[in-house]
Structure 1
Amino acid sequence: MESTLKAHLLNILEDLLEEELVKFKFQLTNIALSEGYNHIPRGTVQQATPVTLADLLIRYYGEEYAKTVTQEVLKAINQRSLLEKLHQSMEKSGSSAQKVAKKTNKRKQENEAGPNEDKQQLTISKRFRNIFNQKKISNESAPYPRDPQPSNDKEVTTKNQYFHDLIRRLNLDSYYPKKMAKVNSLLINKTSLHGTQPRAETELTFCFLEKLLVLDYHLRYLVYRGNIDTISTVSQTLRTTEQERTFENFFIIKETQSNAVQIYIHPMDIQMAIFHCADDFTRQYIFTKLSICQFALPLLVPNPCNSQIEFPLWSLRQIRRSWREVEKIGWEKKIRNYNNQLISWQPIHIISFIRVGNYVSTSKSQILNALLSKGKHDHFSSHHSREDNNRCLLIDGMVEICWFCPGGRAEDRFENCIAFTNLHGNAEIHERQVKFLQQVSSVTVILLSTSNFDKMTSSLLLEFWNSPKPLICLFENAENIMDENSAHKVRIGIKNLNKIELADKITATLTQLLKKSGSPYSLSDWANIARKYEFIIDEDQRGCQEAGKKADILMDILRKVKLPEIKEKLLPLQGGLWRDWCKKDKELHQLREKGNRSIEQYTNEIEKEKQIIRCEQYHKVINLNDLMKSLFESLQSHPETHTELYFLQGLSMLMDQLTTGELEKLHQRHRFLLAQV
């Protein structure tokens, strides 16, 4: 019975991908155990192969409890299909054992029954799971659940344990949730004085913020490795003297057990841990800095402690971009400048990249980096980067966004500003994010592998196939396929293509498909769609809503007056009197028109004239207009609270939106006059 159980466990462990096996080992060392059982040492688990791991499970927990532990760990890492496979194989082996208990070859029969039945199931599933036929596919046949949810409190606790452990290791316990103010991120401490390299894991947070403050893009490679001499013990087994070395022991390395090897905290885990601990204004500050560093920003963020998804719209409001678009008018080309624009108000086409299945080795992030900057800068964090030696824990299910801003040059890949989004993880288990992206995207790009198509959820692909929106499918293990004449659905084989060739093919295809796509959306439009999927939007908070209403009242007053007349009519201390006062104040310091008068006499005259102008200003201020009354009431109703800060920032953005059009006209006239000179 023990060898049969070990065979079943080994079969399950071998079905896990490398990154999934890392998750399995992590959860195995952190899962809650029944009383009387102890965890397998972390170092032993980290170095174990699937064969060794199956043996360790039986040795530490016995046959019955080993099955229970394996099932709980598979639940925690959302491997429901393997969980069902283990359950079915154990039931079959149990029933077979009862029927042939007295036969000596029962183990051989049990082992043969499993694979034959698996082959039969695979053969049947392949018939019904073909994306290119138009048969109706039942959701019940899908081997992976589309949106797995925790089934009980114990599973929720197990799932969230790694997050709270990460918060503790980063010394962010006192800031979670959303308690880190902007002032906390600007503190001067020992880390600031002794350089930006951490000396312990607890210093990683403020080292990250320190690098962010000075716009150091190396924050994406910030890792604390500790003392290398004490961490790496594997090398000690290879230390032999020159006299003992032979051909065999030099080239053949035997597996040896070593002490615990530390799992380093991934830089993206540091960034997202700070995100979950920061308040709205600190998030806005962090997003602005990351944007200046040309990094992708979080658009949809799953909560690590529950199934909620957050859409940080307020944090994205302050992001500004500059670009130049080429407009063709007949035979002429006209360049239109967008200088320092709030990107949240601009209607922009969005292109979404998603991965279907766990069997794709190509990195979407690397493809996107090649599209955005021809591989010169990593906008999206790639799992093939040099610091990604361990699995990032907090980005699974997260959607990041980055903008391509053309410069009006011939070498630009696209002529217009375009937003690119990247869904991290397998799209099959993130249904809400996929549906949201499908609705807001102008074009969707799917990365998949046909070699394991029978293990995918075909219903997801069928939804994209039936959608009228343009679709590009990148097949990892196919080559020499390119549907150039297809109207909305295009297949591209990416096997044996280098980065430049692949980027050029995708660019040409996107350029054609974007011409046929519908109207673009702005971030504000995305918020209305996000509410349909019950995403949490930071702007829906009570304080932010109240501030927005008060800012709208002021903007209604401003819109009733022509823009050039706003200062004269609504701002009593501005206008002609303010200009006259400034001229007198300037003359007070320069004394260019003194003439024959003494300096004392001339300065006294100027002071009297300034006082007269100031009195005229005061007479205008006595009876406040509606604009100033509303402004003072808004500031006094919520003094020194977040509502006041929401109000001031919201009013600033609305006024910027009001003046953008007129400023662009003034810039165009300025350029025209310069050209005439």
Structure 2
Amino acid sequence: MEGDDCEFHYGDGSNDTQDNDFPTVERSRLQEMLSLLGLETYQIQKLSLQDSLQISFDSMKNWAPQVPKDLPWNFLRKLQALNAEARNTTMVLDAPPDTRPGEKEGQMEEEFLYWDTADDVAADIYSFSELPTPDTPVNPLDLLCALLLSSDSFLQQDILLKMFLCQFALPLVLPDSENHYHMFLLWALRGLVRTWWSQPLRGPGSFKEDSVILPRMPTFAFVRMDVSSNSKSQLLNAVLSPGCRPRDCFWHRDLNLGASPREIADGLVEISWFFPSGREDLDIFPEPVAFINLRGDIGSHWLQFKLLTDISSAVFILTDNISKKEYKLLLSMKESNTKYYFILSPYRGKRNTNLRFLNKLIPVLKIDYSHVLVKVSSTDSESFVRRLQSIVCCVMRSPCRRVSVEDMANAARKLGLKVDEDCEECQKAKERMEKITRKIRDPEAYKREELRLQGEPWRKVAQVEKELCRLQWAVDPPEKCRSELRGRLLELRAQQNSLDPTWGVQEFVRAISSPSPGEKQYFLRWMELGLARLSQQRLRPPPETLLSLRSKNCGVVDATEALWPDPLGVEHFLREMGQFYEAESCLVEAGKLPVGQRRFAHFPGLALELLLRGLPLELVDGGSLSVPLRWVTGLLKELHIRLDRRSRLVVLSALGVSGTGKSTLLNTMFGLRFATGKSNSPRGAFMQLVEVAEGFSQDLGCDHILVIDSGGWIGGALTTTGERFELEASLATLIMGLSNVTVVSLAETRDVPLALLHAFLRLETTGHTPSYQFVYQNLHGTSAPSPQLRDGRQCPEPLSDGDLAVTCGETQGDSVQTLADVAFGDPEKQHVWHIPSLWHGVPPMAPVSLGYSEAIFELKRCLLENIRNGLSNQNKNIQQLIELVRRL
């Protein structure tokens, strides 16, 4: 940083300062709020991400909260679905009985009392006193604070990620009156990535992708002193929004329950960002800029105010009064180098007093009258907002303090605030990650030199195994050829087994073998972040949604996937573990290695632990586009042992061409973590496990849902001949053959991949046809029909009968199989969905559209309803799944 970027001025803050920041009465308010929301049980054993993602009765209904204890779960459910209305804490007291999750109709009827005129008047009065009365309204900010204080670090991270996608303001400093400290949420903000248009002073602009906590940028804080007639949050929303209709980034007094008293959220510090898109009509500011909002009066939250003065390029103070008390308060900031601006709305009788003390403050804070703005009821709001935006731009162009969120955390530490990332488990995991990643100079070279069992060696093994598989299905295979292939396979596997895991792989295995579950989970997340950071530092194509914005400036850009290697990720280390296990198992099966000399038999158990903690595991290897059969079988066997009596599975898969939004669809539907984005996604097919709540598993007919994302490898084959087509068709047949339900994600009505059509026909001959859900997504933001479900036989066929006959080349008797026969033949087993665009507006500042969220929820509800009603294929247990993997 240049100039005063590094010039922080810290007080002698300590934890004692934090203790004194709360009155004693505040310490009971938190417990009251937690009890009201039903969260008091999560103060020792925190609510986990896995807890929040369970499939339950709630997943089937769009129910409205009726009591405060419904609010946290309603918030989590809607936030998981990226619903823009997640922050609404309005409760519906007169909802019909079936709108409450898990309630029996009879039980609800007993709770309602009705007026009966034949009864005695006194009895009626008592009856009315027992009728439901409106509960204490819960301010959305109180709900957010209570939920974050009840969540573990990984659920906090997930909550903030979903809020970020919805363009909600994010908590930066979380007040905690019960435990006497404020928490700076650095860890919870890690992993937030944004792509924006970067325009240097000289030369052409380009898109830049980075974590939001790393770049140093101008930061503007808005605070309230005493009282203010102006809504600080509404003003911030207007400053952040182009046009005349502000986004509700910061929750404010005119929104539902925004004006209700805050019980525990005073002292909360929120942050939001503006990122340019490259479009002059949308870009209010020329570069990224951060805006911070302090909830509550600065006099009651002096520590947070001191932090904001230390990190901000400018501080805007909203107040109606500047009296002797406020003058003394601000006099202590005379050594501050921060720029200060006042936004006044003075009472008529206090204008002279305000002016007198303002004149005293001007030399103290080194400001002039241009730093004093007056906004009263007669002030034109649009003009005032434009003036504020102009001031922000002026400060940005001048030498000003620029800080990153990491710089803010350092400033918070010096003031005595706690930082969530400083816990022992997190720091140990970070050290383990850095030991590995600091040796990675070039990811592609690292893969070749350190992950030696992958790449060409694994492709050779996969080729031999494919040839053996073809011979297995041949009518009369030559025994000599089979024997030669087996010998070649053993030779290749023996070469692999002769190698030892490299130092980096050994360190990775040691880290995921840690006896501390928390440290293990922190390590995995650090590895994901560290490896992603290495990938971001290399040149990458921008997302297609942003690429289209600057096509006129960027010229023709070839962003085909082949030009961009598979980014180095955690899956490469797990793939290496899988290959060591495969090689060893192959030699043991052939009698070439005694069982007692096995070194890697425990690897599937280590990988399974990661799957149970939410990490996607590879089913189809992205490097060779083949299935490591022994490794996958080993994982499923370990899963069978771990789940014990809860091993009934439904398998749900999503297939489609890369870029059709299927990974985002699965993530939104179930809260999963499949990689998204063409340039960042690994190519393999991955699986994640979703638990069904015990109280709902009997009703749904399964204990877990295994979700498979096919990755980006389907759709490359343009003809029905050649190795690429055969590979795609085989893998599509495998994934669909394992599935009870298959979601086929399509961008247009005529882009059904040839390999999928072929797989439809192959599976029909085996008698296995999953329940199909065809999803047509509007990827380009053009007007689309409302989210709707259509009868498959009314849907326009992607290919004509004649075209399909040429395409698939498969017949039964004299009749040619058409797509309508194969995919749409049974309207009870398939549906066609039209999903609106993901974004409401133009990225990077566009939130997720409400239409998209609602459509995905309806799709999820329909899928679960089909599973519940037995419209999908018969549910499997894990042993049956293992047999299917081997057979297919």
Query: Do the structures match in fold with TM over 0.5?
Result: yes
For the residues of structure 2 that align with 1:599 and 1:519, how far apart are their CA atoms?
76
1:436 Cα deviation from its structure 2 partner: 0.9
> Which amino acid in the other structure matches residue 557 of structure 2?
L
Is 1:309 aligned to residue 200 of structure 2? no
Give the structure 1 partner of residue 68 of structure 2.
Answer: 201
Aligned mate of 2:300, from 426, 429, 435 = 429
> Which is further off, 600-609 or 299-308?
600-609
SS at match of 2:260: coil
Q: Could you tell me whether the CA contact under 8 Å between 1:401 and 1:420 is conserved in 2?
A: yes
For the residues of structure 2 that align with 1:214 and 1:676, how far apart are their CA atoms?
30
Q: Could you tell me whether the CA contact under 8 Å between 1:147 and 1:429 is conserved in 2?
A: no
Aligned mate of 2:518, from 638, 642, 645 = 642
Aligned mate of 2:250, from 380, 383, 388 = 380
What does 1:26-37 align with in structure 2 at a 5 Å threshold?
A: none
> Which is further off, 487-496 or 203-212?
487-496
Is 1:514 aligned to residue 382 of structure 2? no
Give the structure 1 partner of residue 375 of structure 2.
Answer: 494
Q: Could you tell me whether the CA contact under 8 Å between 1:191 and 1:203 is conserved in 2?
A: no
1:368 Cα deviation from its structure 2 partner: 1.0
1:463 Cα deviation from its structure 2 partner: 4.7
> Which is further off, 347-356 or 515-524?
515-524
1:349 Cα deviation from its structure 2 partner: 2.1
SS at match of 1:318: coil
Give the structure 2 partner of residue 102 of structure 1.
Answer: none
Give the structure 1 partner of residue 730 of structure 2.
Answer: none
Aligned mate of 2:136, from 251, 260, 263 = 263
Unmatched segments (≥5 aa) in structure 1: 1-145, 230-258
Q: Could you tell me whether the CA contact under 8 Å between 1:191 and 1:198 is conserved in 2?
A: no
> Which amino acid in the other structure matches residue 326 of structure 2?
T
Is 1:625 aligned to residue 502 of structure 2? yes
Aligned mate of 2:440, from 555, 558, 566 = 558
Question: Judging changes above 3 Å, is the alpha-carbon distance between structure 1 residues 372 and 586 closer, same or farther for their aligned structure 2 residues?
Answer: farther
What does 1:2-81 align with in structure 2 at a 5 Å threshold?
A: none
Aligned mate of 2:451, from 564, 571, 591 = 571
Q: Could you tell me whether the CA contact under 8 Å between 1:178 and 1:276 is conserved in 2?
A: no
Give the structure 2 partner of residue 615 of structure 1.
Answer: 494
Give the structure 2 partner of residue 348 of structure 1.
Answer: 217
> Which amino acid in the other structure matches residue 442 of structure 1?
S
Q: Could you tell me whether the CA contact under 8 Å between 2:47 and 2:155 is conserved in 1?
A: yes
1:425 Cα deviation from its structure 2 partner: 0.8
Equivalent residue pairs, number: 479
Give the structure 1 partner of residue 280 of structure 2.
Answer: 410
For the residues of structure 2 that align with 1:599 and 1:413, how far apart are their CA atoms?
72
> Which amino acid in the other structure matches residue 450 of structure 2?
L
- 1:2-27 per-residue CA deviation (whole Å, 9 max, x = no partner) reads xxxxxxxxxxxxxxxxxxxxxxxxxx
Is 1:396 aligned to residue 263 of structure 2? no
Give the structure 1 partner of residue 192 of structure 2.
Answer: 319
Q: Could you tell me whether the CA contact under 8 Å between 1:222 and 1:267 is conserved in 2?
A: yes
Aligned mate of 2:56, from 181, 184, 189 = 189
SS at match of 1:268: helix
For the residues of structure 1 that align with 2:331 and 2:337, how far apart are their CA atoms?
12
- 1:64-121 per-residue CA deviation (whole Å, 9 max, x = no partner) reads xxxxxxxxxxxxxxxxxxxxxxxxxxxxxxxxxxxxxxxxxxxxxxxxxxxxxxxxxx
Is 1:541 aligned to residue 423 of structure 2? yes
What does 1:172-183 align with in structure 2 at a 5 Å threshold?
A: 172-177=39-44, 179-183=46-50
For the residues of structure 2 that align with 1:541 and 1:573, how far apart are their CA atoms?
36
> Which amino acid in the other structure matches residue 507 of structure 1?
Q
Question: Judging changes above 3 Å, is the alpha-carbon distance between structure 1 residues 179 and 665 closer, same or farther for their aligned structure 2 residues?
Answer: closer
SS at match of 2:342: strand
1:301 Cα deviation from its structure 2 partner: 1.2
1:446 Cα deviation from its structure 2 partner: 1.5
Give the structure 1 partner of residue 317 of structure 2.
Answer: 446
Question: Judging changes above 3 Å, is the alpha-carbon distance between structure 1 residues 654 and 187 closer, same or farther for their aligned structure 2 residues?
Answer: same
Percentage of matched positions with identical amino acids: 25
1:274 Cα deviation from its structure 2 partner: 0.9
Is 1:459 aligned to residue 459 of structure 2? no
- 1:474-502 per-residue CA deviation (whole Å, 9 max, x = no partner) reads 222499x9x9x989972222233333222
For the residues of structure 2 that align with 1:184 and 1:167, how far apart are their CA atoms?
18
1:203 Cα deviation from its structure 2 partner: 1.7
- 1:434-453 per-residue CA deviation (whole Å, 9 max, x = no partner) reads 1111111122222122xx32
> Which amino acid in the other structure matches residue 311 of structure 1?
F
What does 1:98-247 align with in structure 2 at a 5 Å threshold?
A: 149=20, 156=24, 158-177=25-44, 179-227=46-94
1:625 Cα deviation from its structure 2 partner: 2.2
Q: Could you tell me whether the CA contact under 8 Å between 2:139 and 2:260 is conserved in 1?
A: yes
Question: Judging changes above 3 Å, is the alpha-carbon distance between structure 1 residues 565 and 477 closer, same or farther for their aligned structure 2 residues?
Answer: same
Give the TM-score normalised by the residue count of structure 1: 0.64
What does 1:89-104 align with in structure 2 at a 5 Å threshold?
A: none
1:617 Cα deviation from its structure 2 partner: 2.7
- 1:357-413 per-residue CA deviation (whole Å, 9 max, x = no partner) reads 22x111111011112224442111112323335212222111001111110110210
Is 1:365 aligned to residue 233 of structure 2? yes
For the residues of structure 2 that align with 1:532 and 1:345, how far apart are their CA atoms?
19
1:342 Cα deviation from its structure 2 partner: 1.8
Aligned mate of 1:651, from 523, 527, 551 = 527
- 1:513-552 per-residue CA deviation (whole Å, 9 max, x = no partner) reads 1122345222222222111111111111111111111111
Question: Judging changes above 3 Å, is the alpha-carbon distance between structure 1 residues 517 and 226 closer, same or farther for their aligned structure 2 residues?
Answer: farther
Give the structure 2 partner of residue 33 of structure 1.
Answer: none
For the residues of structure 1 that align with 2:73 and 2:541, how far apart are their CA atoms?
44
Give the structure 2 partner of residue 88 of structure 1.
Answer: none
For the residues of structure 2 that align with 1:531 and 1:545, how far apart are their CA atoms?
15
For the residues of structure 1 that align with 2:190 and 2:257, how far apart are their CA atoms?
31
For the residues of structure 1 that align with 2:519 and 2:260, how far apart are their CA atoms?
41
Question: Judging changes above 3 Å, is the alpha-carbon distance between structure 1 residues 181 and 454 closer, same or farther for their aligned structure 2 residues?
Answer: same
SS at match of 2:285: coil
SS at match of 2:205: strand
Aligned mate of 2:153, from 271, 280, 285 = 280
Is 1:532 aligned to residue 414 of structure 2? yes
Question: Judging changes above 3 Å, is the alpha-carbon distance between structure 1 residues 199 and 463 closer, same or farther for their aligned structure 2 residues?
Answer: same
Question: Judging changes above 3 Å, is the alpha-carbon distance between structure 1 residues 148 and 614 closer, same or farther for their aligned structure 2 residues?
Answer: closer
Question: Judging changes above 3 Å, is the alpha-carbon distance between structure 1 residues 196 and 610 closer, same or farther for their aligned structure 2 residues?
Answer: farther
Question: Judging changes above 3 Å, is the alpha-carbon distance between structure 1 residues 469 and 201 closer, same or farther for their aligned structure 2 residues?
Answer: closer
SS at match of 1:616: helix
> Which is further off, 215-224 or 486-495?
486-495
Q: Could you tell me whether the CA contact under 8 Å between 1:470 and 1:488 is conserved in 2?
A: no
Give the structure 1 partner of residue 536 of structure 2.
Answer: 660
Please say which structure displays the higher CA radius of gyration: 1
Greater share of residues in helix: 1
SS at match of 1:206: helix
Question: Judging changes above 3 Å, is the alpha-carbon distance between structure 1 residues 610 and 476 closer, same or farther for their aligned structure 2 residues?
Answer: farther
Q: Could you tell me whether the CA contact under 8 Å between 1:470 and 1:489 is conserved in 2?
A: no
Give the structure 1 partner of residue 164 of structure 2.
Answer: 291
Question: Judging changes above 3 Å, is the alpha-carbon distance between structure 1 residues 388 and 601 closer, same or farther for their aligned structure 2 residues?
Answer: farther
Aligned mate of 1:674, from 521, 533, 557 = 557
For the residues of structure 1 that align with 2:534 and 2:368, how far apart are their CA atoms?
40
